[in-house]
Structure 1
Amino acid sequence: MAGLEDLKRRLQPIFFDADGNVVPPPAADGTSDDSSSDDCEVLDGGTVNLLSRSSDEYNISKLGFHKRTTRPDGDYATDKAYRCSCHDMHIFDSVGNGASSVVYRAIYVPVHRVLALKKINIFDKERRQQILNEIRTLSAASCYPGLVEFQGVFYTPDSGEIYFALEYMDGGSLADIIRVKKFITEPVLSHMLQKVLLALRYLHEVRRLVHRDIKPANLLLNLKGDTKITDFGVTSGLHDSVTMCATFLGSVTYMSPERIRNENYSYAADIWSLGLTALECATGRYPYDVNGGEADLMLQILEDPSPTPPQHMHSEEFCLFIDACLQKDADARPTCDEKYEGPGVDLAEYNRSVHDPAERLSQIAHANQYSL
């Protein structure tokens, strides 16, 4: 109990949902108080209108969505549409569950393509900002190689659900690989890290975004050998190089020390999360003790020396990369430009080796059967 009381004295109040994710603190009336929340309105005809504080307006219906950006003089500067209808989808089965969503495998009938449908309830006020974050990030980079490809979003009025149509990553996540293989060998992991670092560099340097939830479950693979970042529900934008985030959101497990202390933070927070993720994948276990609960875990991250890879099992270059990512001082961490590179491997062959061939053939058969 001493550890918990110490944490309470040192930190501002922290609130968690049922899945261990940090959420905005409740307001005085008991509701969630997120200063960046945006307005939501259900219009006649089954259309959801999401109005962003950045003057972006999103009209989402069962036929897809329109994005409009308004100039200061009131005129529309841009008008972009995505047609992705609920009638164009044939849903097969659930392939995963997150803290706020369920993901299904589906066929996009017009082109007979397998997609992932991510379902979120629009009437859950705490999730609306996540929906807007996902739409903003994905629609602006729908085909960037290191991010999961975005096909569109639609609304089903009968259920009140928003569905994101995303690229189906048939290789699962790094968390799935750890469960099957126990750990990821250094040569394979180094190539995965190269792809993730390129995507993070795009988010940081081009989009000015902090992902805020890098972890094994949010790094996805496909059987072609790609590794991509997903889940942009808690991203935060930095409008210039000196702006810092101050919001406490994301998975505590991979949260950097400056975020746990409720200090301002920036892109280096993602580098810490990537370092922990890489270390977990390389060793097959999360490097901190999680048995004592969230408060004890946060104290370990703040007070204990940063974890390091077993030097007798990993190369000096890999150990130096992990040590650099897990510097307690955020300014001492590398940027995405400073990469770790290892020997060449065939990621496509490796990703295929993880999965049961019979299960893969069954998935292909289901898709082909519907197409026929």
Structure 2
Amino acid sequence: MAGLEDLKRRLQPLFVDSDANGEPADGPLADCEVLDSGTVNLRSKSSVEYDVSEIGFRRRRSGKDEAYSSVKSYRCSSDEMHIFGSIGSGSSSVVQRAIYIPTHRITALKKINVFEKDKREQILNELRTFSEACCYPGLVEFHGAFYLPDSGAICISLEYMDGGSLADIIRINKFIPEPVLARILEKVLLALRYLHEVRHVVHRDIKPENLLLNLKGDAKITDFGVTAGLFDSMSMCATFVGTVTYMSPERIMNSCYTYSADIWSLGLTVLECATGRFPYDVNGCLSDLMLQILDDPSPKPPKDVNSLEFCSFISACLQKDADARPTCAQVM
């Protein structure tokens, strides 16, 4: 109980960074409307509209100058999908395995309810990130999206990664050898660098469950539901979303943070994969875990098992001082 009271005192800013409805003050969603035509219209604060209907998805960017206006469409409907299994589910979505009939391609179908207000921001983040970076190496491919009016679900069709997640692998194999992790990191760092330097996005939920593999050994990042945009190099976020156990100290304190928060999460993820266990003690309550991350020395890999290069990488990623952490480019 003392740990919880200490945490509440230290995290006081956490309770003043939301609006009256408890929503993040900097969310990108401007409006969401279900039109008479049965199309869901999501409008972002950056003049981009996303229309999701029963027969597909369209992204429209409006601008005063026609040169800055654009339309991109993806045709994909429920009639073209044959669902044949479940991949997983969480608090915000259900993911099913399906065949896209026109191409006989297996796809992962992610369903999110648009009528749940707190899910709309997630839908916008997913559609925005996937559609604007749909074919970049190291990011799960986006195939399209459609709306199911009977259930109120927006279905996002994604590349099916048949090797599962890193979390699946360590559950089965206990740990991932360092040489294999090195190859996985090549792809993940390439994709994360693209998100940071080109898309100006902080992923905010890097963890073993969100790093996927296919049977060819390719690693890819998924789940962009809690991403945040930093539209210039001096911008910083100040919202509390994502998986707490992989949050950096500055995020737990609800301080402003930037791309280096993803580097911390990546360091914890890689260390967990290498050792087969989460680096902190998770037997207590969540507040105790958060205090460990804030107060205890950063975890280190065993030097008698891992190479000097690996130990240096983990040490650099898990610097308590966010400014001391390297960028993706510096550790590639």
The TM-score bracket by the shorter chain reads: over 0.9
Select 1:150's aligned residue among 135, 142, 154: 142
Which residue of structure 1 lines up, in the alignment, with residue 24 of structure 2? 34
Deviation at 1:3, TM superposition (A): 1.3
Contact 1:220–1:228 under 8 Å retained in 2: yes
In 2, Cα distance between equivalents of 1:178 and 1:270:
21
* Aligned pairs, number: 330
Classify 1:33/1:117 alpha carbon distance in 2 versus 1 (closer, same or farther; 3 Å): same
Query: 2:279 aligned with 1:287, yes or no?
Result: yes
In 1, Cα distance between equivalents of 2:321 and 2:148:
46
Deviation at 1:10, TM superposition (A): 1.1
Deviation at 1:280, TM superposition (A): 0.2
Which residue of structure 1 lines up, in the alignment, with residue 307 of structure 2? 315
Which residue of structure 1 lines up, in the alignment, with residue 297 of structure 2? 305
Deviation at 1:34, TM superposition (A): 3.0
Query: 2:225 aligned with 1:233, yes or no?
Result: yes
TM-score normalized with structure 2 length: 0.96
SS in 2 for 1:49: strand
SS in 2 for 1:264: coil
Deviation at 1:50, TM superposition (A): 0.8
Query: 2:288 aligned with 1:296, yes or no?
Result: yes
Deviation at 1:294, TM superposition (A): 1.4
RMSD: 1.7
Which residue of structure 2 lines up, in the alignment, with residue 18 of structure 1? none
Contact 2:165–2:213 under 8 Å retained in 1: yes
Which residue of structure 2 lines up, in the alignment, with residue 199 of structure 1? 191
Contact 1:38–1:129 under 8 Å retained in 2: no
The amino acid across from 2:8 in the alignment is K
The amino acid across from 1:165 in the alignment is S
Select 1:95's aligned residue among 72, 87, 101: 87
SS in 2 for 1:111: coil
Which residue of structure 1 lines up, in the alignment, with residue 256 of structure 2? 264
Which residue of structure 1 lines up, in the alignment, with residue 329 of structure 2? 337
SS in 1 for 2:273: helix
Which residue of structure 1 lines up, in the alignment, with residue 179 of structure 2? 187
Q: How high is the sequence identity, in percent, across the aligned residues?
A: 69
Select 1:115's aligned residue among 79, 102, 107: 107
Deviation at 1:219, TM superposition (A): 0.0
Unaligned runs of 5+ in 2: none
Select 2:165's aligned residue among 156, 173, 177: 173
SS in 1 for 2:69: strand
Bigger shift: residues 328-337 or 166-175: 328-337
Which residue of structure 2 lines up, in the alignment, with residue 6 of structure 1? 6
In 2, Cα distance between equivalents of 1:99 and 1:25:
23
Deviation at 1:248, TM superposition (A): 1.0
Deviation at 1:79, TM superposition (A): 1.2
Deviation at 1:279, TM superposition (A): 0.3
Deviation at 1:203, TM superposition (A): 0.4
Deviation at 1:226, TM superposition (A): 0.4
The amino acid across from 1:126 in the alignment is D
The amino acid across from 2:9 in the alignment is R
The amino acid across from 1:90 in the alignment is H
Q: Deviations over 1:188-234 (max 9, x none)?
A: 11111111001101001111110000000000000011000000001
In 1, Cα distance between equivalents of 2:301 and 2:11:
29
Deviation at 1:75, TM superposition (A): 9.5
Bigger shift: residues 191-200 or 169-178: 191-200
The amino acid across from 1:211 in the alignment is H
Select 2:265's aligned residue among 264, 273, 277: 273
TM-score normalized with structure 1 length: 0.86
Deviation at 1:256, TM superposition (A): 0.2
Q: After the TM superposition, which residues 209-220 of structure 1 pair with which residues of structure 2 at under 5 Å, given as runs?
A: 209-220=201-212
In 1, Cα distance between equivalents of 2:43 and 2:128:
12
Contact 1:171–1:221 under 8 Å retained in 2: yes
SS in 1 for 2:74: strand
In 2, Cα distance between equivalents of 1:74 and 1:2:
60
The amino acid across from 1:93 in the alignment is G
SS in 2 for 1:110: coil
Bigger shift: residues 161-170 or 60-69: 60-69
Deviation at 1:74, TM superposition (A): 9.2
